[in-house]
Chain A
Amino acid sequence: MVEALTDGLAFWPVGVPLAAAGAAILFGRIPAVQRVVSELGVVLMLGAALALLARVAQGDVVATAFGGWRAPFGVTFVADRLSAALVTVTGVIALAVTIYSRAEIGARRRRSGFDPLFLAMLAAVNGAFLAGDIFNLYVWFELMLVTAIGLITLDRRRAQIDGAIRYAAMSMLGATFILLGIGLLYGEAGSLNMLDLAERLAGRPATVTLSASGFLLLAGFALKTGIFPFFFWLPAAYHTAPITILAALAGLLTKVGFYACLRVFVLIFDLAAAPVVPGLPALIAVIAAATMLVSVLAAIAQVDIRRLLGYHIMGQVAYPMVGLALASFAGVTAAIFYTMHTMLVQTGLFLGAGAVVRANGSYDIRRCGGLLSNQPFFAGVFALLAVSMVGIPPLSGFWAKVFVIDAAFRGSQIWLAVVVLVVGFLTLYSMGKLWSQAFWKAPPRARRVLRRIPLAMIVALVLLASSTLGIGLAVEPVAEYVRAAAEQLTLGRGTGGLP
């Protein structure tokens, strides 16, 4: 077992939002108090995440064991570098969404339970990132699903109920796969603690049970992540949610699915070394390539800004999947870096889309226009986020793509690098279409006045845009941290590779 400090620090990023969710329910009738509770909870959560990050960055692994049961027997929260970084990114996203919600989530939506559901979702996301026990990870996934359904159906519109049914059905199916996969894994290895599982499975030959477990877990997490061929629920459900909520879902939920893939396939099954599950890396590579191509082509056809960006959620989560498929140290490093980048940028783009809709009064980009001359500052911030997703220096998206392509060349998977580049170009086309429709062209009706974008929206966007710019400019320390995170994740098995 990797020695870990026992400390309560790993509990607070989950405990704080859960407590705040409870307090928000108590003040359910008073939206103004609810909002303050929510804001306080998110700020404290970000503080807890930063404290955890500061501790973990020194090289420690912080673990919290509940009820005094030591690992591998009890339920534990374990924060290594990967978990701490993702919890911190979650905190930044939560802060941006909370600031933004001042402008978009009114008293009616707060009375319907926006604050408790949002806080409980944050607790579930952090819980999934910090769970040291694979069954515990499954439980957090379920809490995430329940709160997301509540958030999607907040306005109780017909389309939202319809979207939530599709989402719930596919996610419940995925959860069943995950549960069966975990069960088979336990039956074979006799443990649920992820570190313990990794040690028990190291050097094991492939068996039918392990292969079945691996493929079931892949199918389950793929359903939750929304990747080919399991993605159909995502563009049919997400776009019905209010756009503040959509931004939070886009930034957080599917990435937790990918995080689970990283933990299970890199840490437990050790894709790089032994073929505990034969054929898995090649399968993941095909899945990732197909996801990228299908989603970007579908995005190009869209005219509704929510649907357009919704397809990009799927496409963007496939890039770190390429890193996972390469099953190398460089690939894992690229996957972690890309995940952090894409969480921030996806949320930012959706928040920006909300501002576009606020100014124009339409989700249809053909009916938008004139934002560049009318709101140049907002247009600049949105452009920064859009080109970061496309991958243009010096933003974080550029480095994320460089790492992925570099890892693909190192792994002699030239075709994957080619797919990444082609899809990157198509993404540029799709974003260019959005830009020229919503920002560049004159408004379709000549005398129409664009509405002013509230300050809260601009502040939230600036927070996310400056974080992508900051990661892009200070890439060396971030990449250094991510390499150390990858080293911890692979238990120091596969170092070297990336210079």
Chain B
Amino acid sequence: MNILYAFVAAGLVGCSVYMVLSRNVARLLLGLSLMTTAVNLVLFQLGRNRSAQPPIIPKGETTLTGAADPVPQALILTAIVIGMALTIIFAALALRAYRGHGTLRSDQIHSAERLGDPFDGKVSDG
């Protein structure tokens, strides 16, 4: 089961790298959120999911035995929330860029590069 999870995470990272390298900003966004998902899957595996026993230390003992570590699951929850917020902000930026430039191709969205370019011949006045 663990090895299956590992290969699924690796496959997801592979797909996401392919999409991140795309010139389309929307694909870049999808690739980035896919990569976060893959990382969350790795985090989930780090909890050593051995059994469904709740992570409560029995009375009289000091260490947790047999149950899965709950901390990675808390980390994943936080990471999902942060990932969602960033995805929304990035989507808003992509929408703005599409309205401003009329395209989502990143090689045609270059107004930041051209602002103050020393080889452009233009001057940038305030």
Also in contact, A165 and B46, with CB within 8 A (given A173-B32, A302-B118, A303-B116): no
- As a 0/1 sequence over residues 318 to 336 of chain A, the CB contacts with chain B under 8 angstroms (1 = contact) are 0000000000000000000
A168 with B93: CB separation less than 8 A: yes
Verify B43–A169 contact, CB threshold 8 A.
Answer: no
In the complex formed, the residue of B with least CB distance to A150 is B89
Contact of A187 with B46 in the complex, beta carbons under 8 Å: yes
A237 nearest in chain B by CB position:
B112
Let me know if B115 and A149 touch, CB within 8 A. no
Q: What separation, in Å, do the CA atoms of A180 and B75 have in the docked complex?
A: 11
Interface residues on A, range: 35 or more
A16-B46 Cα distance, complex, nearest whole Å = 36
> Nearest Cβ distance between residue A414 and chain B, in whole angstroms?
34
Q: A166 and B112: CB pair below 8 A?
A: yes
Interface 1/0 per residue, A186-204 and B, CB below 8 Å: 1100101000000000000
Say whether B61 faces chain A, with CB atoms less than 8 Å apart: no
Task: Answer whether residue A366 sits at the interface, using C-beta atoms and an 8 A cutoff.
Answer: yes
Closest approach, in angstroms, between the C-beta of B86 and any C-beta of chain A? 6
The residue from B20, B43, B82 contacting A142, defined by CB atoms under 8 A apart: B82
A159 to B114, CA, bound (A): 8
A173-B112 in contact given A187-B46, A302-B118 (Cβ < 8 Å):
no
> Digit string of A172-190 for contact with B (CB within 8 Å is 1, else 0)?
1101100110111011001
Contact of A155 with B by CB under 8 A = no
How many whole Å from A72's CB to the nearest CB in chain B? 11
Do B110 and A162 have beta carbons less than 8 Å apart? yes
A135, A165, A172, A240: residue with the most chain B Cβ atoms closer than 10 Å? A172
Say yes or no for A61: interface residue by CB 8 A criterion.
no
Contact across chains for A186 and B116 when beta carbons are under 8 A apart: no
Q: How far is the CA of A176 from the CA of B83 in the complex (A)?
A: 9
Q: Do A364 and B93 touch across chains, with their CB atoms under 8 A apart?
A: no
A247-255, A355-363, A417-425, A459-467: which lies at the B interface?
A355-363
Q: Can you name the residue of chain A whose Cβ is closest to the Cβ of B46?
A: A187
Residues of A104-158 whose CB lies within 8 A of B: 135, 139, 142, 145-146, 149, 153, 156, 158
Given known A-B contacts A162-B109, A186-B72, A236-B112, A172 and B46 have beta carbons under 8 A apart: no
Nearest chain A CB to B47 CB, angstrom units: 9
Q: Which residue of A lies closest to B44 (CB)?
A: A183
Contact of A153 among B93, B109, B116 (CB under 8 A): B93
A307 at the interface (CB under 8 A from B): yes
Closest to A357 in B: B126
Is A283 located at the chain interface by the 8 A CB criterion?
no
- Which residues 39-69 of B have a CB within 8 angstroms of A? 39, 42-43, 46, 69
Known: A176-B36, A183-B39. A303 touches B118 (CB 8 A): yes
**At the interface, yes or no: A163 with Cβ under 8 Å from chain B?**
yes
**Given contacts A162-B111, A176-B36, is CB(A307)–CB(B93) below 8 Å?**
no
**A35 within 8 Å of B (CB atoms):** no
Question: Are A172 and B32 in touch, CB under 8 angstroms?
Answer: yes
Residues of chain B within 8 A (CB-CB) of A145 are 86
Q: Which residues of B contact A135 (CB under 8 A)?
A: 75, 78
Asked if B93 and A161 make an inter-chain contact with CB atoms under 8 angstroms apart, the answer reads yes
Interface check B94, CB cutoff 8 A: yes
Alpha-carbon distance between A146 and B116 when the two chains are bound, in angstroms:
25
CB-based contact B97/A180 at 8 Å = no
Residues on A with C-beta less than 8 A from B75 are: 135, 182-183, 186
CB-based contact B126/A363 at 8 Å: yes
Whether B23 is near chain A, meaning CB under 8 Å from some CB there, is no
Contact of A161 among B32, B72, B96 (CB under 8 A): B96
- Give which listed residue, A142, A190, A357, A358, contacts B86 with CB less than 8 A: A142
Chain A residues proximal to chain B, CB less than 8 Å: 135, 139, 142, 145-146, 149, 153, 156, 158-166, 168-169, 172-173, 175-176, 179-180, 182-184, 186-187, 190, 192, 236-237, 239-240, 301-304, 306-307, 357-358, 361-364, 366-367
Residues of B within 8 A of A (CB): 20, 25, 28, 32, 35-36, 39, 42-43, 46, 69, 71-72, 75, 78-79, 82, 85-86, 89-90, 93-94, 96-97, 100-101, 106, 109-118, 123-126
**Minimum-distance CB pairs A-B, first 4:** A304-B116, A187-B46, A163-B112, A162-B112
17 contacting pairs across A/B (C-beta < 8 A): A158-B97, A158-B100, A160-B112, A165-B90, A165-B94, A168-B93, A169-B28, A172-B32, A173-B32, A183-B43, A186-B46, A302-B116, A306-B116, A307-B116, A363-B126, A364-B123, A366-B123
